[in-house]
Structure 1
């Protein structure tokens, strides 16, 4: 944390002064304790750690040890940057062990609220500085113990600690509730889009336009009746550079073509045979069960061919390409794909014959155009909401860090300090707390002298 003027009654110290780092403990081998792997450590506030019960004998060696009231956090990338940290609480017999990739902070003399320490190790300053000071090889970098021990901490009076921790509990709970609600909206919008498509292909989306619920003019057809013969794409190996892009499965995104991550071909015969026409619909014929049958429409603009795992569906005059694209992404078509697909060892497949055999209701051409117009309009509305949600999620993510920064600058309790000067001075001051910590350290018994004259420190 960068140096700054501290509020009245606060004092600057270090985490190593305030806490024991990674302490060890001797316990009865038969004692039942909690065992918490890295997966059990939460990344957000108000999320409880997850653990299982084991005997101390099974976990006392080769693991990090901790007890209720400790604060632990991941020291290895990327878990550290992701904010994996927790206050240990509710463990069997009050003790636990877990991954060797933890740092443990145990407040000395119980003068620091563990909730404050948890908030502190999740601040942007701490995470950024910890990342910059990591050591080790790529993919296995760790925050060193010396960095933690020497890291500056703004110690505040005991009463103010509780007040700040309580305020953080309240504010961050509100932020968490807001984030939970925002995170649920994309799934709601996904269901909304599917309901729109279901209404579109069933005729209910345009029953008012028709003036009656009856499907006047709608025909029962097979897809093969209203498209040209489905065509598989090129199976030739594509290159990173070339004349014409080769669209692959990954380029089919949400009904449209994604022009990122392209490969190319320069083979004239391949380009002539597989060049797409505006309005062609590309059908994903093989992949995981959820992705088989995914389609996107080619709208032109640049020349392109398509790869062998795709099928090109080219509409005849009775079928509007956009209607086809929407129809094949509807729940009705998705159910058909799941019904007729063949499952391989790792992938599912649908061949062109089964695609052509898809039974569908075909509206008159004018109604197809009206359906497309209405779906476009409703999807644009959903896209707008989705963008607003994404913007709100970004602001909420920043809000958490803003609140934490205010807490450790004393801004959450400025009014309280002005109203309670007697609780931030004298024996109640942070300076007095720090003296108690130093006295606690001094009480630690020196270890017995080892062979060679070296001494060790016995930890609690």
Structure 2
């Protein structure tokens, strides 16, 4: 993976050498809620927001947790996407929490490193039902390690550059919506007569000459596509058979086009399609309309209303009208059916329309096509620009982790990347600190902490004992305090608290969880009443 050249002052190390790895484990479904009881819970990538994960679920008894500024890595379906925890968080089996070694590794630098390798990570998952990576895979993962001072410089530069990329991308992302609004405005102007107002003045034509009519009066025929079972009727080739998915606004699509035999086409000839027909979707996206092109040839269809214009209606103008908001509103208000609503032939025949002369229809079609072509060209340029911007993020990350963004900084600050500030010295320091921690005696469970100024001044007692002393049900926060934990408990203390609850609930069955109607929180009580002493 790391086969690119890196600066001489950088080294490579395994992920566990510079961080703590915590693979997620899903809690019991009974411990997960949406009422806000417990701590934030994320099962996997699905809950990730743009900047931080969006909290939608909570967990009252987590099995695995992450702290603020831990990197949340999606390890299954999909593999690779990352986010940053902005609070203590319960993590399910779809996530791993990676905590940069405190004071020795810049957490943002490590986050950006994972975002740089995300495309590679996405290809590393194994499995048949869904792709996933294991904790062992992560333990063997190679990481790039610059000196600590340079890590911060890289993270700061990436903050600035990628924020600029994000701003540019956000602007480009808004353009399709702007163009959609523009196209609808063009259609509204077209069917109201505003688009050709100046044209009529030049030709001394009045808007009052427009004919208020219905589609039944301007079509030779309005019918419906074939309604019947088709499972055994499709052929590998033959007569094209359109369905609603083959009709897009203003254009016919041959994606997933099916075929029927000539004999079957003759049997259902009434549902045929002819060049110039208006093909109108009945359900799904009702009212969406295209003109059947001559290039399609002989064809048939199902799930479509077919409007066959007479000499009063130019097909392309009919298509413009049907895709306009005024017609779409009529379609929406005149659908029928109970199980599934759809637009039918009767509603199409009654569809009102203000119809200009054929000459003005032709002019309207020309102007709409010209304006839509302009919008299409902008959209194509925007898509190309968006693709370049999307590629720019990975390009910037690649330069950062080749050392190119900080080449000048290294030249100007040799003392910050050598000697005791070198990457080798940093790794040795991390190892020494970990060895020192291993030699320290482990604190006994439920030990009394009496240090001056310590957050812990009260003895921690078991959950069951706290409820016995209280002699009444307690909610989560009350039980935390009653058990001797401080209100600002750290992650280790909270993990111990939740483990005690689980042990008392599941293993000892000494307490029960109850729901109170007044606040919707989980409350805890002794499984059996305790007699007064």
Task: Give the equivalent residue in structure 2 for 1:102.
Answer: 95
Structure 1: tracts of 5 or more residues without a match: 449-458
Deviations 1:315-355 (A, max 9, x none): 1101100000111101110111112112523x322221111
Which residue of 113, 122, 125 maps to 1:134?
125
Equivalent in the alignment of 1:361: 354
- 1:396-446 CA deviation, whole Å, 9 max, x = no partner? 110000011111111111111111111111111111111111112323437
For 1:36, the equivalent position in structure 2 comes to 42
3-state SS, counterpart of residue 259 of structure 2? strand
Secondary structure of the 2:89 match is strand
Report how far residue 271 of structure 1 moved: 6.2
The answer as to 2:165 corresponding to 1:175 is: yes
**Structure 2 spans left out of the alignment, 5+ residues:** 26-30, 32-36, 443-490, 493-533
- Match status 1:203 vs 2:190: no
TM-score, normalised relative to structure 2: 0.75
Matches within 5 A, 1:266-415: 266=261, 267-270=264-267, 272-287=269-284, 291-345=285-339, 347-415=340-408
Partner-residue secondary structure (3-state), 1:229: strand
Alpha-carbon distance in 2 for matches of 1:100, 1:143: 11
Q: CA deviation at 1:214?
A: 4.4
Verify the 8 A CA contact 2:6 2:401 in the aligned structure 1.
Answer: no
- The change in CA–CA distance for 1:231 and 1:34 in structure 2 (over 3 A counts) is closer
| Aligned residues between the structures | 426
Q: Equivalent of 1:226, from 210, 218, 238?
A: 218
Measure, in 2, the Cα distance between the counterparts of 1:23 and 1:38: 12
Q: Work out whether residues 21 and 97 of structure 2, in 8 Å CA contact, stay in contact via their aligned partners in 1.
A: yes
Question: Where in structure 2 are the equivalents of 1:78-93 lying within 5 Å?
Answer: 78=78, 80-81=79-80, 83=81, 85-89=82-86, 91=87
Query: 1:54, CA displacement in angstroms?
Result: 4.9
* Residue range with higher mean Cα deviation, 232-241 or 269-278: 269-278
Deviation of 1:59 (Å): 2.8
Is the contact between residue 106 and residue 151 of structure 2 (CA under 8 Å) also seen in structure 1?
yes
Deviates more, 1:226-235 or 1:396-405: 226-235
Structure 1 CA distance, aligned partners of 2:57 and 2:256? Answer: 47
Q: Which piece of structure 1 moves more, 128-137 or 204-213?
A: 128-137
Distance 1:144 1:437 in 2: 24
Where 1:50 maps in the other structure, the secondary structure is coil
2:61 is aligned, of 54, 59, 62, to 59
Distance 1:10-1:190 versus aligned 2 partners, 3 A rule: same
Write the distance in 2 (CA, Å) between the matches of 1:23 and 1:183. Answer: 35
| CA pair 42-116 structure 1, distance change in 2 beyond 3 A | farther
Q: CA RMSD in A?
A: 2.5
Classify 1:272/1:309 alpha carbon distance in 2 versus 1 (closer, same or farther; 3 Å).
closer
Name 2:471's counterpart in structure 1. none
Q: How far apart in 2 are the matches of 1:39 and 1:131?
A: 13
Q: Cα offset for 1:197?
A: 0.5
Q: 1:136 to 1:311 in 2, by over 3 A?
A: same
Q: Distance in 1 between matches of 2:55 and 2:66?
A: 13
Structure 1, residues 284-311: CA drift from partner, whole Å, max 9, x if none?
A: 1223xxx111111101113243333111
C-alpha contact 2:272 2:301 (8 A) present in aligned 1:
no
Instruction: Tell me, yes or no, if the aligned pair for 1:233 and 1:306 is still in contact at 8 Å.
Output: yes
Which SS does the other structure have where 1:110 is aligned? Answer: coil
Tell me if structure 1 keeps the 8 A contact 2:24–2:97.
no
Matched, 1:72 2:72: yes
Q: Secondary structure at the match of 2:7?
A: coil
The structure with the largest alpha-carbon Rg is 2
Change (3 A) 1:161 1:240: farther
Shift of 1:53: 8.0
Residue 246 (1) aligns with residue 244 (2): no
Kindly indicate whether the alpha-carbon contact (under 8 Å) linking 1:40 and 1:49 is maintained by their aligned counterparts in 2. Answer: no
SS in 1 for 2:293: coil
